[in-house]
Each structure stands twice: as structure tokens, then as C-alpha cells.
Structure 1
């Protein structure tokens, strides 16, 4: 029996408990399809045939529903499920903006049959929630009504901007994951992820492209700040807590989960010279120390709590021989040994393997040589087919699927995959296995029953109580590296000279901000770890911090701090997005604090509250670039005579 939903409720969702029924009616949400009544219960008519099909029956298991849906799908629809695109915004194919390009989105969803997208919108919470609802409405109108999985990269990290104290969006702002590792509390990481889960679900986001389980053994690596550091067992525990919190439990996905995609399997943290695998000049990970085993340990934390997904690294594990086997010199997304022999067979991972972005795209011209001088690099030049550059795009799709990839990141064009299937380069069995896995997870997340969110509930974000917890974590993550007596705690009404610190926050904290250094009792300086950008003509090279970890001899911040130190005590905090060589500061700073993302308000609290510092370094800080150049990129904490060793921290 087909029923008009407006007979029961006005809106997009409702809960209808029916007396005398053994099964309790669950909440349905819809804008396009009608509902069917059967056995006194209501179900969505997703394929619009006025019949309750098994995949529409929420009483059945995800496995049974996925099998039924799979049997109804065309090859084109199956290929669409295996794509993970970027939800486009006007003028931005990668989705940078405040709203979606709904016309372009509809073409991807309806014509290409794609139903997984990463969102990169930046807008107020209610608008983001409604924009995601608009995408779901398009998907609901497609032939089979398959809902979208909307994913997101990490957004819960505090980014310091001198002119303001927080980024204005929906999300609580915590320290970087390196800062969470500095705290070292698995339960706190679980709480952090649980709060992130709730924020995501309120906005219609159901997949986290995180956490990074990469072991940060190469200190020059551009993406080190997204890791939990270089202690393998600590990282394992942190990853375990993250997945458990984000997935709303330890036994797999449920209707309250945000599915996690743990990345990047495996060895990414040993990136050669610290250059990143997004770019052709960074396509290798250096395993001259033959230490892959240690890089695998962190992932076991995710497997212990049933992570939904794993994303392989871009990198080629250079010249690695592992357990007597020479590892093929191709990126992990094409590497049968890494994905099948290790991940599937040895570690028994049974979830979804999602490729990193654009591994099947060509890398030619500007991708190889960079953009010409005067031209701003843009993502149109990108492609990351490392080790299989000589293959055609169709052959790369086939190679990746046969290696174990279930879904392709950054792709919406299904044509090459369909050609590979038609040519017999990929079997129908392989395609069906991938689609089944992906559909089961969508069903387990509750998306087939209700993919819409309450826009009014989203208006409650950002949540002040959650931000208080995040602020506490920022405070706990601070690592005290040097402390001369008599400087801390800083007392109210102290006259301070500020360098790189927000004066308004200092005044709110009860300090007196002076306009000339000679009037100050102390100086407080905020600086960042040194970096170089030798590849600014590449899209990612223009964004990433690369090169030396040492301050230049003419560094303006060091010169300013040295001059101030001649006259007064100087408190210095350094943002450690990479392991800075702090040798020039050791004898100049009366107090030296490593931070991993901290607001000025929290910083002043830490300087004035007289509470002990409990944070410990999640990676060692080397004493010189000479020691960095001597160490193995794939081995943890192996530099000679580090200035501050792994786990260091004063109270």
C-alpha cells in the first residue's frame, strides 16, 4: 500500500510507532519519494515502484539489503558507487565556496550515478546542513534512490590567526592530533572524536577521511602535524580512541556513526626528504632503514575497533625488501602485496579500501615541471599515478581494482572503469565485491532511512560547552621545554610587550600591554617552526612547509627575541607543525613552550594559572640539520644528540 507521507506529518521525517507491532517503527526522512505501508510499518519507496523491495526494508540486515540492491543495479550504477567525488561549488571543481553548484552536482549524481562526495564548503552551520540536504534530495530522486555519503577532511583543529581567536564555523577547535598525542590520553582522543562525530552528523556529514595513522619518522615531512607523532604504540592507542569515538563504538558502524577512513597505508611518514606524495617530486618514501613493521603498528589500533575504511598512501616504498619480498615500485593504491597480502590477508581487514585522490589521472606537463613563473598553481594540473605513469587511464583503473581498491577518491568520471570492465580487464565479481562493501556501510549508517538533517539543530553549532573541552585540551597539549625560575606564573597587571600575540586577549587576561619594549616587565612572543617552500610553482608545494627545520641566520623572529632577551625575560611559544631546531632559542627564552595549535586566550591561561605543564613531545626535536640528514627517514627518534628527546616535557 502506497501512502502519502503528508497524511502523517508535515516535513521531511517522522516517527510513527504502531500499537501491537513487534517491530518499532524507525524514523524516516524524505523529500521526493513516497512511503509504503506493510505489516503496519512504513518504508521508503526508493525505486518508486510502489512495492517494498528487500533493500528498502529496514528490518533486514545490511548484508541482505545490499545483496538485493546490487542485483538491481546496472554496470553504470555500480561504477558510480565506486567513485568518491568533490561536491562542486560555483567556479570551483574541488568545492571551495559557501554553497554547492547544484546543476553540476545533479549531473554527477544523476548522470554519472556518483553517491559519495567530499564537502569543502565554508559557511555557517545551518546553511551547510541545508546544502547537504539539497544534495540528498537530488540523490533521492535518482532511479534507485541511493543516498549520498558526504565526507570531510579534519576540520576540528585550531588555526592561529593574529587578528582573531577562532575560525568562524561549526566545529570545536582542538590542538592538532600531534597535540592530542602530547597529552597521551586515549579516552580524551575518544571524546574529541565523539564530539566531532556529533558535529558532523548534525550537518549531514557521515564519513571522516581520518585519522592519519602514519608514523611521523621523517621530521621534514610536510604533513607531520596531522599525525600522532613518531611513537608507534602511542599512535596505535590514539588511533584506536579516535576510531571508537568517531564510529560511536568499537564493533563497527551503526546509525549514529561517522565512518572512519584510516590513512595512509602504509609508510607515508617516511617521505623521502620530507617532500609529500601529492607532488611528483615527493612520490617516494625512503625505507633505507628497512623499518616497515614499525609503520604498520599504528594501524592495528584501528583494526582493533573495526574501522570502516583504509586509504592507501600515494607513495612508492623505495627499494623496500619486506620479509624477503621485494616490494613492487608502485604507489600503494596499485600494490597487490600491500593491499591483499598484508592488509586483507595478514591483518584481516574486511572494510572498504578507498584510494587517495586522483591516482588514476595523468601527471604531465605542469604536474611534472610545475606551473610557469607568474601563473598561480591550480588543481587542474594534478595527477598521482606513481609507478604506473606509462599505463593508460583504463589500465590504471583495472590495476587498482585488481590490487584491491574499492572506491576511487577525487573521481566522478566512470567511463574508464566501465571500459576496463567491458574489455575484461576487471571482473564483474571484483566490481560487485566493491559495491557490496560500500552499500553495506551506507545502510549500516542509517542513510537509506534518513539522510536529511534538522537545519534548526545545526543552528546550535558551534557548541560552547564542547569548545570548553577543546580549550582544555589545548592547555594540556602544551609542552614546557625551558623554564627559568621566577617567570611563571605571570601575574595580573604585569606589563607585557607582545610579539605576534593578540593584544586584546592579553588585556582580557588582565595584563597591561605596553607600546614600547622598555616599558615592559616581560615579553611574550609567538612564532612558528621554520620552513622553506622550494616548490611554490606546484599546487601543493605552494601550500606545504618543506625543507630545513633550522632558523635562518637572519630570521627576524630570532633577532627580535634575542634583542628583547637582553632587557627582560622572554616567554616564547613555537607552533610545532614540524620538529623545529630550537637551538637558537634555548639560551634566549626564559620560558620556551611547544604548541600544536593554541589560542591566545588559552595561552594566557597557561601562563597565569600556576598549574603544571603535563604535555610530552610526541616527536623528538633535533639539535641540528646535520643530525637530521644523517638519520633514517623510516626510523623513529634516531637523530644524534636531540635537543629535546621524544617524550620530553618539563612540569
Structure 2
């Protein structure tokens, strides 16, 4: 849908508002209208307009009169309070659901596809009053923006015309994993967050956030389900690639800068913001044996070093940036945890009132929206608990209600809401919240609290006044040449040079023959190299490999996808055989993608140079190898020397292997 049929409203002459308006219907809690205002740009709308006091307003409830929530001159708090008071119980319940935007021809059950199912969305928006959705759609920027506009048109048809908020997992990196990140759309491509930690430049991270903010807003994404403030203190954990490493002080600075970029400053939500959802509150990185709590077998976080407080530090950076939203962890502690006199309950984070109400809202004073991770109210069936006995694991029967496995769906909704949850991730059925109020298990005023918090942020973002985007402009914003050039530079800077025997790097291309593994030969040729078929015929062999992993739980949904177990290169694996083959050349260069900290003990003697990367293109790699750019990165976590030392280290303590092969912060340059 192209948005162009209604003229843009722009008035530049200040207008004095009659004093009769002030302190009357439009005053609330000491908030008054400014004495001079200019017409707000309302852009396109399908709603009728109201003219009052020389201004124009949307008649969102189509009653022919200007109501406070429709008056863009009023403070967001006043408008949100007025609208909350107009909501039915069902509409309040709908606001508390953070659904998954349905797509056509969805084969995964997770909302992946290239076009929205608008008929289904119409039902969810207009009949169920749901108006926040995660998108996993993958399409070009123009298409994403166009379809987003169609969703807002559906929203304008609802009783109160509450605009829709669209969220997304990260889209601007290299690794795409269902449930953790999303792909497609042509967004500028940056290193993983580990790469930003390796560079350690908060200004760069803030710039990254600001660029992605512009790209997201261009296509209608107004909420980022990131950053991860989790600490990578357990080397085997599958979610390390989305963190800023294992050091709390480094992560705190990076988290703060990331959020300031996404939210357009450090003063909270404004009409330029993409709301950041910092996650996962708290201690998620300290996973027992490194298993992940998307899985029943990995539901426990553990603190043998009594170091839970250390895992709260990065969130302090989020609070300093006035983050808009917090997502609790799936994990439940495997033993009692007490912090500042607050004893956590041994349930998943979304059900833990001391964690959410006493610690997050109480000690830290968080006032924003608490949104649960996906599936916490869903049942985990026998296949989910035990792994499938035959066939492939799927989302059918999948849930993450850790600590509440035997409870009913209704009981989980009640427990989580009373704990402090404002929105339920991945949920599309408001009937449980409605039933809880009818049965006296929840008060309507408790639903009103959450509804107000959600509405307030929509007003602060300007969605009620100007929800549509310019689909034609989206293509020139998303992934434009300037953004991508800055992303490429960040890729280069993030490389960590671990070994450079005889100062072989940087190297020239003059007359050099190369043998390649995991690299596009056309890129090497563009730099003047001649590609050969055998390492013995080469002057230098260049290989790109990934950190080793095992699939220890193939019968579980996420266990079948996540990287678990050993971090060591072993005979027989394709990557290690390539490293050994490269050693047959006179010189060899190994670049290892580190979604987890690889063990390189048996790689050092087989390579002239070793570089760690956290998501880079072949072009970025060759720019560094040839000296066009220099590696600037330093390890955001230590690299262990053996799996025995990994097993012996404590899951909640950083820098905790006895004899690391490379220490935290190590990095060479030239």
C-alpha cells in the first residue's frame, strides 16, 4: 500500500490556546497544555479528522468529539491514563499479549515467511484487541514497509484505533538462529555484539544502534528484542554470540551505548525511538553445564561462585540509558539465591515476584514494560520434557513454564502477572487473563497497570499520531551505502589477531597463490590472488572455520539447533581436517568464527597466523590480511586451553579457567 492520499498537515505559526482549556478536561496530575504549539504532522490516516481550536486531530473512536487521548497537545502520560480508563477488560488483556505476526504459507509455525496473513491479523487486532507483534517476516525493505502500513490500517479499524507495535529479534548481524535472531531485508550487516565488545568503543556501538534505529523505523519495526545483557561466564553456553562477553564492566558500557543508540538518546522513549528490550533478567549466562533454558534439560542456572550480583552489573547500564523494556530469563536457579536481602524463588524468571517486583521494580526503580520470553505460559508436553521418541522435534507441544510445569495455563498467567509481567511473549489468546479477572484471581486494576505502561510507550513513540511509514523511502534508508560502509569498517576493526608468527601479516598479493577453505574465491581474486586447488601448490593457505560444537540433545527442539558441548577441534571434523590440510602450505592463516570461545591448543602449531572473528564478510577479512585495515579487537572472553579446564570452571564466574590459552582482553595488531 502506498501512503499518499491525505495531505501532510504542517502549521508553523504559534497559536495561543484558550485558557479555558487549561485545568479543565485536559489537565491531569498537574500536567497542562503548553501555551504555544504548532500543528503536529499527522501524515496519512484512514480516520476522520476533528477540527478544534484551529488544529486538526484524529477522531480515533469516531465519536465526533475531541477526547483527551486523541489530543496530541497533551502529555503522553495524560493521554495514556485517559485511554486506559476507556478500555474494556478484554482490551486490557489484549494489550498484555505480545503475539507473533502470522505469515502466509508458514511451514515452521514460528511466523517465518515473506508476506503477512492480513486476514488473521485483522482478527487478532480487531476481535482480540492484540496490538503488539513480533515479526519474523523476511522481505525487502519496501515490501516490509508496505505491509506494515497495511497492518496500521487494520488497527485504525479497531474500536479505539490503538496502533500496532512491531518488534523483531536482531537483523543486523551474520548469524541467524530461529528464536534468537532474524534474517533478510537488506539491513546493514555488522559484527555480532561480541564484535562490538572486542572493539570496546562505546561511541561506535551507539552509532550502530542509531543506524539500526533508522533502518527499523523505516520499515515499521518499533521495538528491538535486544540487547542481551547476559554474561558469557559459562564457555559452553549456546547463546554467547548475542552477548558482550564475560566481563561485567565491559558489558555494562556496551549495553548502555547500544540502548542509547536504539532509543535515540539517554532520556527515555521519544518519537524517534525503537524501544530496546534488555534481556534476560537475570543471571541467564550462568547455565548449568552450559545447557540452555529454551530446553527442559537446560532449565537451571547455577551460582557455585555465589556470583549472582556480578550478573546484574550490565543491567545497570541499561537502567542508566532509561531502557524501555526488560525481558526476564527462562531459567530457574538450582539453589537458593539471596541478593540485598531479597531471596529469589526457584521458578523461571517470569514467575519470580522477588526478582521482578522486589529487585527490578523495587531496588532498581524500573518503570517500563516487563515482557516475558516466548512460551512461558504454554504447556511443555512429553516430547518437550523428554525429547521426541521418533520423527523431528517441532513447536507442537513446546513450552517453557519452568518451575510451573504442572500448573494450568490459567495458573501460569495469574502467577506471572502477579509477579510483575506486563506482556506475555508469543501469546495470542487473551481469554486466560479475562477469565482470571472474572474469577477474582486478578484485579482489573492490575491489568490496568500493565495496559497503561504499554500505551504510554506507544504515545511516547508518536504512534497514535503518525504510525505510517514512507514505503518508497525505506529502500533508500535500509542498508544504504553509508550505513554499510560503517558496518564494514566495524567488521574489520572487530577482528582479533591471536597469532602472527614472524609478523607474516599483513601480506602482499604480488605473485601469491592461495588455497582457500570456507572463502569465496572471487573475493580472493579481486585482491590479486591466484586460487589453486591444492595447498601444496600454494604460497599461503587461508581457511575460515567455526568454533567446534556438539549436538548432544538432537531429540529436543532447541537442542537440535543449538551448539552445545565440546569447544575443541577434533580429528575427523571437516573444519579441523581443513586446518591440517592448510598446514601443508608454506604459510597458513586460520580465521575462527567464535560464537563460543574455541579451544585452539592443537591449532597453534598448524597456523602461521590465527584471527578470531565475530561475524565478518570475506571482504573485511581480506582488507585486514592485506593491510588495508588493521585488526583492533581484543578477546571479550578468555579462550580455554582444554575441555578439562572448561568443565572445572564455575558457571557464574568470569575469567575462570586455570590456564587459559589466551586471556580475556588479548589481541595483537600491526
Contact conserved, 2:97 with 2:427, CA < 8 A, in 1? yes
Partner of 2:517: 499
Shift of 1:20: 5.3
Query: Whole-Å Cα distance in 2 between the matches of residues 73 and 259 of structure 1?
Result: 24
Residues 326-337 of structure 1: pairs in structure 2 closer than 5 A = 326-337=343-354
Query: Whole-Å Cα distance in 1 between the matches of residues 14 and 185 of structure 2?
Result: 46
Shift of 1:542: 1.9
Shift of 1:15: 2.4
* 1:466 and 2:483 matched: yes
Change (3 A) 1:217 1:539: same
Query: Whole-Å Cα distance in 1 between the matches of residues 627 and 138 of structure 2?
Result: 35
**Of 546, 552, 556, which residue of structure 1 is paired with 2:570?**
552
Contact conserved, 2:136 with 2:168, CA < 8 A, in 1? yes
Partner of 1:349: 366
Query: Whole-Å Cα distance in 1 between the matches of residues 202 and 6 of structure 2?
Result: 38
Shift of 1:271: 1.1
SS of equivalent residue, structure 1 residue 216: coil
Please give the TM-score of this superposition, normalised by the length of structure 1.
0.96
Shift of 1:519: 2.2
| Larger displacement relative to structure 2 (436-445 or 29-38) | 29-38
Partner of 2:120: 104
SS of equivalent residue, structure 2 residue 37: coil
Shift of 1:18: 6.0
Residues 180-191 of structure 1: pairs in structure 2 closer than 5 A = 180-191=196-207
Q: Deviation string for 1:600-632 (max 9, x for gaps)?
A: 011000000165422100001100010011111
Residues 154-553 of structure 1: pairs in structure 2 closer than 5 A = 154-159=170-175, 169-323=185-339, 326-373=343-390, 375-460=391-476, 461-493=478-510, 494-553=512-571
Partner of 1:590: 608
Shift of 1:126: 0.3
SS of equivalent residue, structure 1 residue 481: strand
Partner of 2:30: none
SS of equivalent residue, structure 1 residue 17: coil
Query: Whole-Å Cα distance in 2 between the matches of residues 483 and 122 of structure 1?
Result: 40
Query: Whole-Å Cα distance in 1 between the matches of residues 362 and 270 of structure 2?
Result: 25
Change (3 A) 1:60 1:326: closer
Shift of 1:458: 0.8
Shift of 1:502: 0.7
Shift of 1:426: 1.1
Query: Whole-Å Cα distance in 2 between the matches of residues 325 and 95 of structure 1?
Result: 39
Shift of 1:193: 0.4
Query: Whole-Å Cα distance in 1 between the matches of residues 176 and 415 of structure 2?
Result: 42
Partner of 2:9: 15
Residues 4-43 of structure 1: pairs in structure 2 closer than 5 A = 11-12=5-6, 14-17=8-11, 19=13, 21=15, 22-43=36-57
Contact conserved, 2:551 with 2:562, CA < 8 A, in 1? yes
Query: Whole-Å Cα distance in 2 between the matches of residues 160 and 263 of structure 1?
Result: 18
Contact conserved, 2:224 with 2:274, CA < 8 A, in 1? yes
SS of equivalent residue, structure 1 residue 239: helix
Please give the TM-score of this superposition, normalised by the length of structure 2.
0.93
Partner of 2:21: none
Contact conserved, 2:518 with 2:544, CA < 8 A, in 1? yes
Shift of 1:560: 3.0
SS of equivalent residue, structure 2 residue 366: coil
Residues 35-74 of structure 1: pairs in structure 2 closer than 5 A = 35-74=49-88
Count of residues paired in the alignment:
638
SS of equivalent residue, structure 1 residue 609: coil
* 1:577 and 2:592 matched: no
Query: Whole-Å Cα distance in 2 between the matches of residues 463 and 348 of structure 1?
Result: 39
Partner of 1:562: 580
Contact conserved, 2:50 with 2:59, CA < 8 A, in 1? yes
Shift of 1:70: 0.8
Change (3 A) 1:108 1:465: same
Contact conserved, 2:492 with 2:630, CA < 8 A, in 1? no
Partner of 2:166: 150
| Larger displacement relative to structure 2 (364-373 or 497-506) | 364-373
Query: Whole-Å Cα distance in 2 between the matches of residues 649 and 333 of structure 1?
Result: 39
Shift of 1:487: 2.1
Q: Deviation string for 1:561-614 (max 9, x for gaps)?
A: 223324411000000000111111011110000000010011000000165422
Contact conserved, 2:375 with 2:399, CA < 8 A, in 1? yes
Contact conserved, 2:539 with 2:585, CA < 8 A, in 1? no
Gapped regions of structure 1 (runs ≥ 5): 1-8
Change (3 A) 1:167 1:350: closer
SS of equivalent residue, structure 1 residue 525: strand
Change (3 A) 1:160 1:542: closer
Query: Whole-Å Cα distance in 2 between the matches of residues 160 and 471 of structure 1?
Result: 18
Change (3 A) 1:513 1:167: farther
Shift of 1:121: 0.6
Change (3 A) 1:355 1:220: same
Partner of 1:3: none
Change (3 A) 1:42 1:577: same
Change (3 A) 1:315 1:557: same
Gapped regions of structure 2 (runs ≥ 5): 16-35
Query: Whole-Å Cα distance in 2 between the matches of residues 381 and 160 of structure 1?
Result: 24
Contact conserved, 1:488 with 1:610, CA < 8 A, in 2? no
Query: Whole-Å Cα distance in 2 between the matches of residues 157 and 558 of structure 1?
Result: 25
Query: Whole-Å Cα distance in 2 between the matches of residues 19 and 590 of structure 1?
Result: 69
Partner of 1:4: none
SS of equivalent residue, structure 1 residue 380: coil
| Larger displacement relative to structure 2 (481-490 or 576-585) | 481-490
Change (3 A) 1:475 1:315: same
Contact conserved, 2:14 with 2:38, CA < 8 A, in 1? no
**Of 80, 88, 97, which residue of structure 2 is paired with 1:83?**
97
Query: Whole-Å Cα distance in 1 between the matches of residues 6 and 174 of structure 2?
Result: 35
* 1:628 and 2:642 matched: no
- Aligned Cα root-mean-square deviation (Å): 1.7
Query: Whole-Å Cα distance in 1 between the matches of residues 284 and 184 of structure 2?
Result: 32
Query: Whole-Å Cα distance in 2 between the matches of residues 168 and 396 of structure 1?
Result: 35
Query: Whole-Å Cα distance in 2 between the matches of residues 411 and 611 of structure 1?
Result: 47
Query: Whole-Å Cα distance in 2 between the matches of residues 24 and 363 of structure 1?
Result: 54
